[in-house]
Amino acid sequence: MKVLQLLASLLRGHWVRFIFGTLMRVSSDLASLLIPMGVSWIITFAAAYSSGVSLEPFWWVLLALLGLQIYRAISINFSKVFLYTIGERLSVELQLRGMRHLLSLDLLWHEKENTGNKLKQVSRAGDGVDRIFRLYEGIFIEGTINLIAISAIFYRLSWELAAMIVFFFVSYFTLCRFFLGKISRTVRAVNTQEDIFEGLKFESMNSVHTVKSLAMYNNLYAKLLERADILRLAIKKRILTVRLSWGAMDAYQGMFRVILLAYTTFMVFQGRFEVGTIALVLLYFGMIEEAANEFATLVQDALLAKISIAKLQNILDEEPVTERSGHTAFPVDWKELRFDRVGFSYGNKSILKDMTFRIRRGEKVGIVGISGAGKTTLMKLMLKLYDGYEGEILFDDLKLRDIRRASYIENVATVPQETEVFHFSLRDNILLADERTDSAEERLQRALHIAHINDFLPRLPKGVETLVGEKGVKLSGGERQRLGIARAVYREPDILFLDEATSHLDAVSEQNIQEALHEFFQNVTAIVIAHRLSTLKEMDRILVIQNGHLVEEGSFEELLEKKGDFWTLWQKQKL
């Protein structure tokens, strides 16, 4: 029911074209049904023709057949234009709706779900909608019209003939469903093996640097050969199943065609049917045969399309959580960021507990702790990525949850541990970070300078216009991290968050960027997570987190003098 409601909602604004396309297809199929009648009449006329009989009726019927063929060709293609266009448009609309909803869902939901699966569900649902419209236009309308109309025509000729054709339709449809089920299972098995094979090929190419550097070629190729053998066996089974199944179905319909031919001919011998009725019955039988076969395909394909759409519907039913926005603009004159007894949990696992501290505007604050201490989670809370935390995060007396998300994000920037790179030019990868166009070139050049991107720019074939490849494959880890820093600088934020932002850089590059960043820090509030404690010497204050608790805070020298947890971490890094 939900799938039908979704399709109905997508059809809003398209009903007129949908109805017109349907009527064009119905009229085309009705015209097709008249053609065998004309052929039957011509055969009967020719069989009884004798010299001197007027040919005028023959020419009129021939002209009518010509007109029907022309009308059928025009109307069926008009129908396809209208209904296929609607299907394609609704496919794109559904995918856009799915992507919009995915982007609105909270980070916690995304972290639980596989990215590839989410995108596949969106694509398959779009394909499913398009497929449903093609099945509706190409099979459902034609098959329904043919079954009803031909059964009625045969009933007028002989109720036995009508009973035979209905029996054939039901039995052949059942047979098709049985064999198509077997075929589908072998096809799915091949698809599964193809996915595994393609995945292994992709991983081999995607990890080509590792493959080359560790000489993994022979081992990987052996695995490819192993998967290829399994795939070949699955394909062989599919071919065998398909050919045997279609052979059985062809034999059954051939047998029934002979039975119909014998019955109709016998009726002609008895004088109950005219000779042209033989052609009429055989032509109509071909239509019924095709309808039964296509209806079996329709049921199966429609079910698969429904499942694909239903999976996306489950995503659309997910309610956004953390993207909930407040209604207050970010206070440009704020003085203090404050954590007041903040706690946060992933499910039943507590990550942060009773966190209380203050950060003054313009202050440079470092955050340290062992892996899993809660540093990144703390930063995600400050980035308004997670909701559902206990306590309050405040700018002066204004709660972070009450601040409009768009207004807040305009004033902050972040450099994550792993910089996400798009398959765009280097320039576009940086400009994506900010929608503002004022002083764009000036801000870009400043960002390139501070992030020391100018150091490796000369080796890129087209400089800043060079496409960096999928996931930034043309850039080293350190270069991707510099790109992330350039994005943050380009935004000219009020608050800058850095999460291990120089961890992939060599010592010289890190020193150069640290110096440039400290110059940039003069105009921002900087909150820095760092693994290498030596990079925090210039921080005004350092927060030390252990097991989700704030255990120490102070300047670099003060914390060393305390000889507490920070001192212990420092000693371990010195070894």
Predicted pLDDT of residue 240: 93
User: Cα(376)–Cα(311) distance, rounded to whole angstroms?
Assistant: 32
Summary mean pLDDT of the chain = 81
Cα dihedral sign, 213-218-222-228: positive
Tell me the average pLDDT across 68-97: 85
* Secondary structure (3-state) at 405: helix
The angle at the Cα of 38, spanning 37 to 43, to the nearest 5 degrees, equals 100
Q: Note whether residue 341 is domain-resident.
A: yes
Tell me the pLDDT tens digit for each residue of 179-197.
Answer: 877 887 888 788 788 878 8
User: Cα(128)–Cα(549) distance, rounded to whole angstroms?
Assistant: 50
Name the nearest CA neighbour of 338 among 355, 358, 353, 352: 358
The two structure tokens encoding residue 64: 């009518």
Q: Note whether residue 192 is domain-resident.
A: no
| For the chain, percent of residues with pLDDT exceeding 90 | 5
User: Cα(316)–Cα(125) distance, rounded to whole angstroms?
Assistant: 12
Domain boundary among 106, 134, 157: 157
Q: Note whether residue 461 is domain-resident.
A: yes
* Residue 323 in this model has a pLDDT that exceeds 50: no
| For the chain, percent of residues with pLDDT exceeding 70 | 86
User: Between helices 56-104 and 276-316, what is the axis angle to 10°?
Assistant: 10
Tell me the pLDDT tens digit for each residue of 210-243.
Answer: 666 666 677 778 888 888 999 899 999 989 988 8
Tell me the pLDDT tens digit for each residue of 267-301.
Answer: 888 888 888 888 888 888 888 888 777 777 777 67
Predicted pLDDT of residue 224: 83
For residue 15, count other CB atoms closer than 10 A to its CB. Answer: 11
| Ramachandran region, residue 568 (left: φ > 0; alpha: ψ -120 to 50; beta: rest) | alpha
Q: Note whether residue 508 is domain-resident.
A: yes
Residue whose token pair is 């193809």? 194
CATH number, domain containing residue 68: 1.20.1560.10
Adjacent-strand bridge partners of 541: 365
Q: Note whether residue 321 is domain-resident.
A: no
Q: Note whether residue 185 is domain-resident.
A: no
Q: Note whether residue 570 is domain-resident.
A: yes
CATH number, domain containing residue 442: 3.40.50.300
Domain boundary among 117, 135, 157: 157
Tell me the average pLDDT across 310-335: 70
Q: Residue 92's domain spans which residues?
A: 1-157
Domain boundary among 157, 173, 206: 157
pLDDT interval class at 322 (50, 70, 90):
very low
Number of domains composing the chain: 2
Predicted pLDDT of residue 324: 54
Q: State the Rg of the chain over Cα.
A: 36
545: enclosing H helix or E strand = strand 541-546
pTM: 0.57
Q: Looking at 489-529, which runs of residues are DSSP E strands?
A: 495-499, 525-529
Q: Note whether residue 272 is domain-resident.
A: no
